[in-house]
């Protein structure tokens, strides 16, 4: 059996992987979040799971179990949204990074929407000299989608399919059809808030019956699966380059006599 899930191997198997030169681990961090009336509350958990697993399989790495609770932004106040304070999640993810490094993993890649990871990876580098990386699923290109609602809905649907959750995919398609055209777009897109938010970030929370993602006319499931697979394939050199970069960093520090 070829699993990429760390929870499904023994300590000995992990040791063997590291001794044979394996050094790659993905850390999927999802969320429980009220995103859209047609999307499961755990949508982002399925997305980060599917993407991490695809990347791990393609690059001979492992995945930690999905961390299901994370920091939310505009959606935090909706019933069913669960938001962990950013500074608490910072400490938690820092510990995960430290433990993975001490185990011998040298390529640590978070797959997450948690924006403050920017500082976790920067400060971890400053303190430990190990460049860890972070992939946000938002960066997966999907040109077939004509708008953000279609992009996100199709991506979630594709990841449910990749996770083997055809039952939830079927339900998503049914809920999408049922709710299509019944909700207005987010109030956050109206003037003057929309103008203010172009300048940077400003706190906002959705009101009752206001959703970030709305049902769409057509859910492009197979097209999104193809887009994910293509993107995973294209990222192989970047995942490989992380190894070379980590080596470069360790040599550069040594050569220059830095602490």
Partner 1 sequence: MIYKLEDMFPMDLDNLIEEGKDVAVLPIGSVEQHGPHLLLGCDSFITQALADCTAEYSGGVLFPMVPLSWIGGLRVWPGTIDIRSKNMGNYLEEVCMNILNMGFKKLLLVNGHGGGREMVYSVASRVFKRTGIPVLAIFTGQVQRVYPEIRKVWQEYGLNDPSSYEASAMLGGIKKYGKTELLEKAKRLIWEAVEEFGEPNTQFEPPSLRKVFEISEVGHDYLSETMHVRPRADANADAGLAYIEAMAKKLADAIRKLDEHQRQIKNEE
How far from 163 is each of 52, 81, 158, 229, CA to CA, in Å?
11, 22, 9, 13
Segment lying near partner 1 (by CB under 8 A), choices 115-123, 126-134, 164-172, 198-206: 164-172
Q: Which residues pair with 110 in a beta bridge?
A: 27, 134
CB-based contact 69:82 (threshold 8 Å): yes
Helix (H) or strand (E) holding 230: helix 221-234
Of 51, 25, 242, 254, nearest in space to 142 by CA: 51
Among residues 6 and 121, whose Cβ is nearest to partner 1? 6
Interface characters, 15-34, with partner 1 (x: CB under 8 A): x--x-------------x-x
Number of residues that bind partner 1 (CB under 8 A): 53
Q: Is 259 in the site for partner 1 (CB under 8 A)?
A: no
Segment lying near partner 1 (by CB under 8 A), choices 6-14, 50-58, 106-114, 185-193: 6-14
Interface characters, 93-112, with partner 1 (x: CB under 8 A): -xxx--xx-xxx--------
Of 23, 45, 6, nearest in space to 108 by CA: 23
In whole angstroms, how close is the CB of 41 to partner 1 at the nearest point? 5
CB-based contact 246:106 (threshold 8 Å): yes
Which residues contact partner 1 (rule: CB under 8 A)?
1, 3, 5-15, 18, 32, 34, 36-42, 45, 64-69, 78-80, 82-85, 88-89, 91-92, 94-96, 99-100, 102-104, 167-168, 171, 175
């Amino acid at each position: 059996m070829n699993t990429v899930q760390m929870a499904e191997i023994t300590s000995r198997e992990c040791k063997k992987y590291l001794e044979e030169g394996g050094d790659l681990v993905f850390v999927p961090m999802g969320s429980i979040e009220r995103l859209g009336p047609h999307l499961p509350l755990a949508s982002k958990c399925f997305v980060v799971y599917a993407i991490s697993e695809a990347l791990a399989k393609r690059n001979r790495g492992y995945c930690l179990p999905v961390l299901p609770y994370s920091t939310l932004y505009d959606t935090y106040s909706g019933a069913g949204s669960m938001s962990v304070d950013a500074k608490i999640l910072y400490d938690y993810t820092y510990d995960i990074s430290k433990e993975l490094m001490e185990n011998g993993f040298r390529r640590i890649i978070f797959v997450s929407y948690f924006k403050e990871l920017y500082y976790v990876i920067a400060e971890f580098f400053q303190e430990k000299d190990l460049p860890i990386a972070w992939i946000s699923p938002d960066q997966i290109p999907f040109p077939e989608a004509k708008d953000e609602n279609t992009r996100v809905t199709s991506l979630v649907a594709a990841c449910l399919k990749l996770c083997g959750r055809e039952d939830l995919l079927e339900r998503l398609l049914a809920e999408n059809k049922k709710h299509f055209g019944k909700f207005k777009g987010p109030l956050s897109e109206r003037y003057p808030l929309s103008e203010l938010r172009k300048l940077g970030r400003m706190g906002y929370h959705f009101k009752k019956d206001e959703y970030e993602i709305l049902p769409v006319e057509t859910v492009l499931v197979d097209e999104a699966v193809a887009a994910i697979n293509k993107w995973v394939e294209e990222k192989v050199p970047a995942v490989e380059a992380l190894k070379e970069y980590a080596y470069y960093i360790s040599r550069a520090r040594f050569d220059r006599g830095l602490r």
